[in-house]
């Protein structure tokens, strides 16, 4: 069942989401060769707690950390470790925060020093696809209009969209109904309504869309070893026009 949110609830989600966006800014300044993903995780946890939030992922289904740090062919859910980042890597930084019981969730993928032109294009196309999907999240549209638009943009650039993981409703739970796939035919699924809050999060592979989960039970990687990028915003559907992006450091 899709839980519509009141203005007060959306305000709390905006507060949680603002902490997420600000944490991303802090982490992005620290991403460089030689830094460990565990260091980034510790920074993220400290930042979230110092700003009045609770890390949303830590302990979620026994996930051990605040940050999902997914490097290169890791798609999502990478576990922070003593691994050091190298020049030319890309790293997905996915994190969530809770304020007064309400969640915000967001992800960015960033380069570690200079990266190749093709990898630059992967990051650009994935982020663009996310924004194009977000723009579809309007009253009167249907749920699959989001994923259809994302898939079309991604495939137009020769990349592929991951099917095994999808976006989601968000609120008092990190993952609520509805699921928000990043693919599909347009005009299907629920009608979008004012009060729906969604996490829209394309995961895009250079190669084929298939993924597998490693023995650590978390880290999802591309089956073909190709690079993968991930961007995510938490958005609130408005009475008309495009949605409000909650995962931003700007005032709402
Ligand atoms: Mg999410």
Q: Write the CATH number for 22.
A: 3.90.230.10
In eight-state DSSP terms, residue 62 is: G
Mean pLDDT, the chain, rounded, equals 97
Q: How far is the CA of 106 from the centre of ligand 1 (A)?
A: 6
Q: How far is the CA of 153 from the centre of ligand 1 (A)?
A: 20
Q: How far is the CA of 206 from the centre of ligand 1 (A)?
A: 21
Phi-psi region at 97: left, alpha or beta (left = phi > 0; alpha = psi -120 to 50): beta
CA atoms of 132 and 130, how far apart (whole Å): 5
Question: Which of 59, 58, 94 has its CA nearest to residue 76?
Answer: 94
Is 1 domain-assigned? no
Is 252 domain-assigned? no
Distances (CA, A) of 103 to 109, 133, 163: 21, 21, 24
Is the pTM of the predicted complex or chain greater than 0.85? yes
Number of helical H runs and strand E runs in the chain: 4, 15
Domain count, the chain: 1
| pLDDT, tens only, 20-64 | 999 999 999 999 999 999 999 999 999 999 999 999 999 999 999
Q: How far is the CA of 35 from the centre of ligand 1 (A)?
A: 25
CA atoms of 252 and 240, how far apart (whole Å): 16
The mean pLDDT of 120-147, rounded to a whole number, is 98
pLDDT at 251: 79
Instruction: Give the percent of the chain with pLDDT over 90.
Output: 99
**165 and 220 in contact (C-beta within 8 Å)?**
yes
Is 250 domain-assigned? no
Both structure tokens of 223: 């089956």
What is the domain range of residue 147? 7-245
Question: Which of 28, 40, 108 has its CA nearest to residue 76?
Answer: 108
pLDDT reading at 70 higher than 90: yes
Is 251 domain-assigned? no
Q: How far is the CA of 120 from the centre of ligand 1 (A)?
A: 23
Is 71 domain-assigned? yes
Q: How far is the CA of 168 from the centre of ligand 1 (A)?
A: 7
Is 233 domain-assigned? yes
Q: How far is the CA of 95 from the centre of ligand 1 (A)?
A: 8
In eight-state DSSP terms, residue 35 is: -
Is 59 domain-assigned? yes
Tokens 């294009």, located at residue:
121
| pLDDT, tens only, 84-129 | 999 999 999 999 999 999 999 999 999 999 999 999 999 999 999 9
| pLDDT, tens only, 154-184 | 999 999 999 999 999 999 999 999 999 999 9
Q: How far is the CA of 165 from the centre of ligand 1 (A)?
A: 9
Instruction: Please state the separation of Cα 31 from the chain's center in Å.
Output: 18
Q: How far is the CA of 30 from the centre of ligand 1 (A)?
A: 23
pLDDT reading at 252 higher than 80: no
Is 33 domain-assigned? yes
**246 and 197 in contact (C-beta within 8 Å)?**
yes
Q: How far is the CA of 201 from the centre of ligand 1 (A)?
A: 6
């Amino acid at each position: 069942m899709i839980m519509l949110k009141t203005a007060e609830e959306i305000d709390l989600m905006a507060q949680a989401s603002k902490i997420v966006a600000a944490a991303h800014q802090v982490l992005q300044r620290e991403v460089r060769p030689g830094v460990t993903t565990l260091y980034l995780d510790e920074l993220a946890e400290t930042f979230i707690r110092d700003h009045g939030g609770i890390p949303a992922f830590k302990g979620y289904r026994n996930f051990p950390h605040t940050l999902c740090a997914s490097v290169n062919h890791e798609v999502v859910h990478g576990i922070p470790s003593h691994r050091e980042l190298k020049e030319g890597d890309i790293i997905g930084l996915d994190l969530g925060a809770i304020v007064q019981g309400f969640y915000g969730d967001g992800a960015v993928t960033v380069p570690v020093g200079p990266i190749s032109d093709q990898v630059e294009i992967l990051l650009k196309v994935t982020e663009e696809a996310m924004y194009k999907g977000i723009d579809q999240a309007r009253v009167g549209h249907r749920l699959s209009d989001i994923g259809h638009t994302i898939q079309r943009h991604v495939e137009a650039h020769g990349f592929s969209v991951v099917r095994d993981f999808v976006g989601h409703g968000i609120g008092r739970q990190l993952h609520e109904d509805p699921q928000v796939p990043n693919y599909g035919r347009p005009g299907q699924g629920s009608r979008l309504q004012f009060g729906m809050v969604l996490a829209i999060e394309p995961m895009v592979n250079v190669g084929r869309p298939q993924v597998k989960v490693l023995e650590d039970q978390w880290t999802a990687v591309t089956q073909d070893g190709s690079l993968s990028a991930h961007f995510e915003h938490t958005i609130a559907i408005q009475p008309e026009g495009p949605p409000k992006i909650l995962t931003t450091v700007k005032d709402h």
